[in-house]
Amino acid sequence: MKIVQGIAAVDEDVVGSVLTVGTFDGIHRGHQAIIERTCERAKTLSVPCVMITFAPHPQALLTPATAPLLLTTTEERADLVREFGISAMAVLPFDEILAAMEPEAFVRDILVGTFSGREVVVGEDHRFGRGRRGDRHTLARLGRQFGFSVVAVPPVRWRGRPISSTRIRRAILAAKLREAARMLGRWYSFRGHVLRGESRGRTLDYPTANLEVKSPSVLLPPDGVYAVLARIDGGTFRGMMNIGTRPTFGSGSRTVEVHLLDFVGDIYDLTMEVQCLDRLRDEKAFDRKEDLRMQISRDELEVRRLFDRVDRQGCCHQLRG
């Protein structure tokens, strides 16, 4: 899959294609339905399949005080859509010029003038252009004018309501990770760089990887202790994670620490992807370090039992119900 950074990088490999357009934060099941339909139409027409997305998130420019934290970085979006057969992902900078474009100008200058789109696939609730003035009906009218067709994909529903990035963020902020996973079609995850810490975990017999999350705009679950899967250096490992301020040690700053079960090795300076499966408990302060060590031991036992249940049920990746 080709990554196209900005309009100036668009070349003949991606023109005359079937397009889909959106922020696509999270690449959740609703997004996946749109992307799959886009690729199906491109295959039928024997043309490239191109996903147009934006960075930063439009609300980061338009309403920065209330802009949402992200479910996926641009890099993570690219990694997630590769498996669908997308020919190229075009990342357009969402700046003042793009924000001010009327729907007609966006279609004329971007979809037609830059990409020469043969067909455009969007969700039924798609909005675009200045002030979100354009919708799928606007797009269909402009398609008739400029000579491209439009396909509107209905929303994917879960528990009777359309899946959306907003619903997923709310579930994660409430530590309802299984609900988020069922809407995403996978466990919610984030990435971080493994740094050298203060080695306090080793003194408790539980060495941890201290993570510097790759983007400060990425959404993290609430403070607490979690069962996780960690992907690093080509391997996947079971573990437990603490997010919080380490109150027993009076740290104050928020940190992310992951202990990998049954793992021995050097992973400093590598990138770790943490998949969040379940929340075990709140973070809490202990009077004695030994009390903390005993609690971590109980946490480990609970995490191992959780993974035993996952193994028996074979449900680790069956998250669409």
Burial of 11 (0-12, 13-18, 19+ CB in 10 A): exposed
Which contiguous run of DSSP H or E holds residue 188? Answer: strand 188-195
Region of poorest pLDDT, from 115-129, 131-145, 253-267: 253-267
Question: Do 2-157 and 187-313 share a fold?
Answer: no
So what's the pLDDT on residue 282? 95
So what's the pLDDT on residue 203? 63
φ and ψ at residue 196, rounded to 5 degrees: -80, 130
User: By the 8 A CB rule, do 278 and 240 touch?
Assistant: no
Domain 187-313 in CATH 2.40.30.30? The answer is yes
DSSP state of 10: -
Q: What is the rounded average pLDDT of the residues 196-205?
A: 69
pTM of this structure: 0.93
d(CA 122, CA 292): 51
Q: How many CB atoms lie within 10 A of CB 15?
A: 15
User: By the 8 A CB rule, do 123 and 24 touch?
Assistant: no
So what's the pLDDT on residue 251? 66
Q: Give residue-wise pLDDT tens across range 64-106.
A: 999 999 999 999 999 999 999 999 999 999 999 999 999 999 9
Helix axis angle, 165-173 relative to 177-184, nearest 10°? 160
For domain 2-157, give the CATH superfamily: HUPs (3.40.50.620)
Q: What is the rounded average pLDDT of the residues 109-125?
A: 97
Q: What is the largest CA-CA distance in the chain?
A: 73
DSSP state of 117: -
Region of poorest pLDDT, from 45-59, 65-79, 285-299: 285-299
Q: What does the mean pLDDT of the chain come to?
A: 93
So what's the pLDDT on residue 314? 64
| 3-class SS of residue 25 | coil
Q: What is the rounded average pLDDT of the residues 170-198?
A: 95
DSSP state of 208: -
So what's the pLDDT on residue 320? 44
So what's the pLDDT on residue 317? 47
Q: Where are the domains of the chain?
A: 2-157, 187-313
d(CA 318, CA 296): 29
| Helix residue ranges, H only, 48-102 | 58-62, 74-81, 96-99
Token duo for residue 117: 């789109």
The string of DSSP codes covering 251-320 is --S-EEEEEETT--S--TT-EEEEEEEEEEE-----SSHHHHHHHHHHHHHHHHHHHHHHHHHT-TT---
Token duo for residue 77: 């979006």
SS3 sequence of 127-184: CECHHHCECHHHHHHHHHHHCCEEEEECCCEECCEECCHHHHHHHHHCCCHHHHHHHH
- Indicate whether 315 pLDDT > 60: no
| 3-class SS of residue 8 | helix
Predicted confidence band of residue 201 (pLDDT cuts 50, 70, 90): low
d(CA 2, CA 66): 32
Q: What is the rounded average pLDDT of the residues 144-164?
A: 98
The end-to-end CA distance of the chain, in Å, is 30
- Indicate whether 294 pLDDT > 90: yes
So what's the pLDDT on residue 197? 72
Predicted confidence band of residue 248 (pLDDT cuts 50, 70, 90): confident
Token duo for residue 218: 């990425």
